[in-house]
């Protein structure tokens, strides 16, 4: 019988941010594969968990993946953990997960902390739709190209950034994204947690006067819809669709998409003009 691979989320800073289920699984598995054993031993020791631990860091990911799969085929259960957050999300894990699923070995998620979700929840920016990009390239030319490609994206954008690059990245964002609203979250869930909110130039200016240290999450609002006028022709199309039996919301959604208009403004205008 094949074993089970558990993808276990661990705290991103505060050791109390771990689920009861995660603790139970870590106590029950045969083996724990950790991104950095030195780091994970602190978490396991804090909760009195004593299990065999092997390293699973990025440079040895493919070699370790094959080794872990052999153990899973032998019937052992394995918990994969990263230094912080969820394995495979800007952390090692994707290689093992892909190989494991390809060999029909059960993979079970043990949900928990994720830095970008926690940061988004307190950013004060739209959360209905968002795009997570992880770490941008360290090279300026590559980083700026990606940011330019994202300049038309309407969804909220979320990035991770290291302390030694955060100033350069924000400078590029100010030039490419302009005066958009943003939030810069530093050391989330840790002792020195800090959130800067405002327009990108304001955050960039304030960052220069603060101590730069730790990991950062940068959240930027997407490109806003232009306020195009709602014309009589547009309202006429909505009227026709409603007469054909389409609900007002569906008619507005259809026409707004065709003309690139704000659904809310178009809906409000239709209430005034179309009984």
pLDDT tens readout for residues 10-30: 999 999 999 999 999 999 999
Q: How many domains does the chain have?
A: 3
- What confidence tens digit (pLDDT) does each residue in 71-87 have? 999 999 999 999 999 99
Phi and psi based region of residue 6 (left: phi greater than 0; alpha: psi -120 to 50; beta: remaining): beta
Would you place residue 226 in the very low, low, confident or very high pLDDT band (cuts 50, 70, 90)? low
- Residues 101 and 118: their CA atoms lie apart, in Å, by 28
What's the confidence (pLDDT) of residue 225?
Answer: 64
Q: Residue written as tokens 């968990």?
A: 49
CA angle 54, 56, 62 (to 5 degrees): 125
Q: Is residue 41 part of a domain?
A: yes
Residue 261: domain span = 232-273
pTM listed for this prediction: 0.79
Buried residues in 191-216 as b, exposed as e (16+ CB within 10 A): eeeeebbebbeebbeebeeeeeebbb
Q: Is residue 227 part of a domain?
A: no
Specify the CATH number for the domain of residue 63: 3.40.1010.10
Residues 126, 93 share a domain: no
- Residues 95 and 85: their CA atoms lie apart, in Å, by 17
Domain C-terminal end among 66, 86, 112:
112
């Amino acid at each position: 019988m094949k074993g089970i691979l558990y993808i276990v989320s661990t705290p991103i800073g505060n050791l109390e941010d771990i689920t009861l289920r995660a603790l139970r699984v870590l106590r029950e598995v045969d083996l724990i594969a950790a991104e950095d054993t030195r780091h994970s031993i602190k978490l396991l020791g804090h909760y009195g968990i004593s299990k065999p631990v092997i390293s699973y860091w990025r440079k040895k990911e493919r070699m370790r993946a094959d080794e872990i799969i052999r153990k899973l085929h032998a019937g052992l259960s394995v918990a994969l953990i990263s230094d912080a957050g969820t394995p495979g999300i800007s952390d090692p894990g994707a290689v093992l997960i892909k190989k494991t699923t390809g060999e029909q070995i059960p993979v079970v998620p043990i949900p928990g902390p994720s830095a970008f979700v926690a940061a988004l929840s307190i950013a004060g920016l739209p959360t209905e739709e968002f795009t997570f990009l992880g770490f941008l390239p360290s090279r300026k030319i590559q980083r700026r190209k990606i940011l330019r490609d994202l300049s038309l994206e309407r969804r909220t954008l979320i990035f991770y950034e290291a302390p030694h690059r955060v100033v350069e990245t924000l400078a590029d964002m100010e030039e490419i994204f302009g005066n958009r609203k943003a939030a810069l979250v530093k050391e989330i869930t840790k002792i020195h947690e800090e959130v800067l909110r405002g327009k990108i130039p304001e955050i960039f200016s304030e960052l220069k006067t603060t101590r730069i240290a730790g990991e950062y999450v940068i959240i930027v609002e997407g490109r806003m819809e232009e306020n195009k006028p709602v014309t009589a022709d547009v309202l006429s199309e909505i009227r026709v669709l409603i007469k054909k039996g389409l609900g007002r919301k569906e008619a507005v959604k259809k026409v707004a998409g065709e003309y690139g208009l704000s659904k809310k403004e178009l809906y409000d205008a239709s209430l005034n003009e179309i009984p």
